[in-house]
Amino acid sequence: MSGFAAPWSCCFNRIVAAVILCLFVFGTSSPSECRAEDDGIGYRHTPLLPNSKWRVNDRSRPQPPKVAPGKSPGTPPADAVILFDGKDFSQWEHAKSTDNAKDIDPKIIEDGAFNILKTDQIQTKRHFGDCQLHIEWATPEKADGNNWGNSGIFFLGNYELQIIESHDSKMYADGMAGALYGQTPPLVNAARKPGRWQTFDVVFTAPRFDGEKLLSPAYITVLWNGVLVQNHTEVMGSTRWETFPSYRSFESTGPLVLQQHGSAVRYRNIWIRPLKRE
């Protein structure tokens, strides 16, 4: 009797150990699931996610591409389009000029930065839609008129993220720095002193249209000097002075425009990552 019981007991113990191992590794998955899926990462039998062709923990879902991050905060990752690295203007053209193609003279670059009064209003030659933008800017140290530090970044040439001196001077809330101009003030005022370098890190989602019908509005998220000031804010339309916002352009891509508004605002270190929706 004991000669039969010993091997059976050994086998039983091994099965129990295998089941415990599967439960430990795969949670509530059954031992058969464990065996069926243990030749790769992920599963085939799990539920489909809503509005998606992928399943929960789907083994076929592609891995995101690898991107080497910048060496330090604010430096561009490997897949960024460098719009201004302190050396040339090859990515830009004049925005107001009838001769947009006229080159911007790189001799005006000082200490890796440029002054928007010297370039005049400029725009990227390339058009962008959904994107991540990093940009550094500085207002003049001293007031230079009624528009001290007034400039701005127009996404798709239409939707302005305001730049203006906001540390020592006061502007209506939806016209201060970090505002979606004329629509939404920043959540907080994260301004540095005039003359100091400041950063905007922006995620912009472009609007979608079917002809002239708006399918989905634009959205903007902004970190100002690392502080969240716009949190997936809906854009009501083109930003205009004293004018109700509405969608007047029906494009989902456009140039990035830097506004010249009569103040010597400086810019440096500008890069952008075009974003794709899955």
Provide the binding-site residues for Mg ion, judged by CB under 5 A: 150, 152, 259
Other residues' Cβ atoms within 10 Å of the Cβ of residue 52: 11
* Nearest approach, Cβ of residue 53 and Mg ion (Å): 43
Sign of the dihedral through C-alpha 73, 79, 82, 87: positive
The structure tokens listed for 245 are 């916002």
| CB of residue 152 to Mg ion, shortest distance in Å | 3
Rank residues 36 and 173 by Cβ distance to Mg ion and give the closer one: 173
In the bound state with Mg ion, the residue whose beta carbon lies nearer, of 29 and 150, is 150
Q: Shortest distance, CB of residue 140 to Mg ion, whole angstroms?
A: 14
The distance of closest approach from Cβ of residue 182 to Mg ion in the complex, given in angstroms and rounded to an integer, is 10
Residue showing the smallest CB distance to Mg ion in the complex: 152
> For residue 133, with 0-12 CB atoms within 10 Å meaning exposed, 13-18 middle and 19 or more buried, which class applies?
buried
CB of 175 to Mg ion, least distance (A): 8
Q: Please say which residue, 23 or 236, places its beta carbon nearer to Mg ion.
A: 236
Which lies closer to Mg ion via its Cβ, residue 91 or residue 263? 263
Beta-carbon count within 10 A of 29 CB: 18
Quick check: helix, strand or coil at residue 180?
strand
Q: Which is nearer to Mg ion, 184 or 259 (CB)?
A: 259
Output 80 or 176, the one with its CB closest to Mg ion. Answer: 176
Strand partners, 230: 222
In the complex, minimum distance from the CB of residue 266 to Mg ion, in angstroms, rounded to a whole number = 15
Residue 57 and residue 44: Cα distance in Å, rounded? 8
Are the beta carbons of 258 and 121 closer than 8 angstroms?
A: yes
Residue 49 CB partners (closer than 8 Å, separation 6+): 55, 56
Residue 242, helix vs strand vs coil: coil
